[in-house]
Amino acid sequence: PLDLSKRLKYLIRYPHGCIEQTTSSVFPQLFLSKVMDLNEKELGNLENNIKAGIKRLKTFQVSNGALSYWPGENDASSWGTNYGGHFLIEAKIMGYAVPDGMMKGILKYQKQQANKWKRDGNFYNHPHGKESDEIIQAYRLFTLALSEKPALGAMNRMKEMQNISNIALWRLAGAYALIGKEKIANQIVADLNTDIKPYKEMRHSYGSSLRDKAMILEVLNLTNDKLKGKRMFDDIAKQLSSNNWHRTQTTAYSL
C-alpha cells in the first residue's frame, strides 16, 4: 500500500525550482514504468519530463563542473551535485542521452572533492549527532562507484575513520557493494542498526529520517539482505500511505 497515485501527483510534473526540487520531480519517473501499468500518453509524458529534467540540470552546472542550488549561480552545491548527479548517472544507465561534457564535469569535480575531503568536526551537526559532511562525502563516493569511477583511496580512508555516522556508513557500504566488494560492504553494515531517529534538516543535505531509511533500503537491496530489507520496505510504505506530509526529496527518494 504505497499510495503511489497521491504521492506521484505531488512529484510528476515538468521539472522546475531549485536543484533538489528539479531532481526530485524526475528521479522517481525513471522507475515508474517498472511498478505501474502506463498507457502511451503517460509513457510519453514521462519521457518528456525526464528529458526536460536532464536539459534543465544543465543550467545548474558551474565552471568547475559542479551543480549549483539555483540555475545561473556560481557556487557549487555539494548535496545538489550528489543528488542531481545521481539522477543523471541513473538516467544514462537507463539509456537516456546525457551530455558527455556535462557528465565528465560532474565526475571530475566529484573525484576532486572526494580525494581532498577531511572530516570537519565544526561542521553543522544533525540534532542526533550525525554529521552532514559525512553523508555528503559518503553519497559522493556512492555516485562515483555507480558511475564506475570509484575513488577507492577516499573510500578506504573513510572506512578506517572512527565514529563515522550511521547513515554515512550505510552509504559507504553501498559504494563498496556497487564495485563488487560485497564482503567489505557486509563487514561495514554488520553492526549497524536501521533505526533512524526522527529529524528534518533544512539545509546542507536537506535530509530526513525517512529519506535516510530509503537510502538504507537501497543498500540492503545491493547487499541482498531481504529480511532487513522487507522490514524497512514495510516501514517506508506505511509512511508513504499515511496522510503525513513529506518534502520533495524525501518523497522522491522513498518512491
Say what the pLDDT of residue 195 is. Answer: 87
Cα(223)–Cα(100) distance, rounded to whole angstroms? 30
CA 66 to chain centre: 16
Q: Kindly list the averaged pLDDT for each block of 10 residues, start to end, along the chain of length 255.
A: 68 80 92 85 90 96 97 94 98 97 98 91 47 89 98 98 93 98 97 88 84 97 95 93 86 90
Backbone φ/ψ region at 68: left (φ over 0), alpha (ψ -120 to 50), beta: beta
Cα(46)–Cα(3) distance, rounded to whole angstroms? 19
Say what the pLDDT of residue 83 is. Answer: 97
Q: Report the residue count for the chain.
A: 255
Cα(153)–Cα(182) distance, rounded to whole angstroms? 17
pTM greater than 0.75 (yes/no): yes
Say what the pLDDT of residue 121 is. Answer: 55
Say what the pLDDT of residue 45 is. Answer: 87
Cα(249)–Cα(11) distance, rounded to whole angstroms? 10
Say what the pLDDT of residue 126 is. Answer: 46
What is the 3-state secondary structure of the chain? CCCHHHHHHHHCCCCCCCHHHHHHHHCHHHCHHHHCCCCHHHHHHHHHHHHHHHHHHHCCECCCCCECCCCCCCCCCHHHHHHHHHHHHHHHHCCCCCCHHHHHHHHHHHHHHHHHCCCCCCCCECCCCCEHHHHHHHHHHHHHHHCCCCCHHHHHHHHHCCCCCHHHHHHHHHHHHHCCCHHHHHHHHCCCCCCCCCCECCCCCCCEHHHHHHHHHHHHHHCCCHHHHHHHHHHHHHHHCCCCCCCHHHHHHHC
Say what the pLDDT of residue 55 is. Answer: 97
Cα(120)–Cα(133) distance, rounded to whole angstroms? 7
Among 216, 238, 105, which residue's Cα sits nearest to residue 171? 216
CB-side exposure of 75: number of CA atoms within 13 Å? 5
Contact 254, 6 (CB under 8 A): no
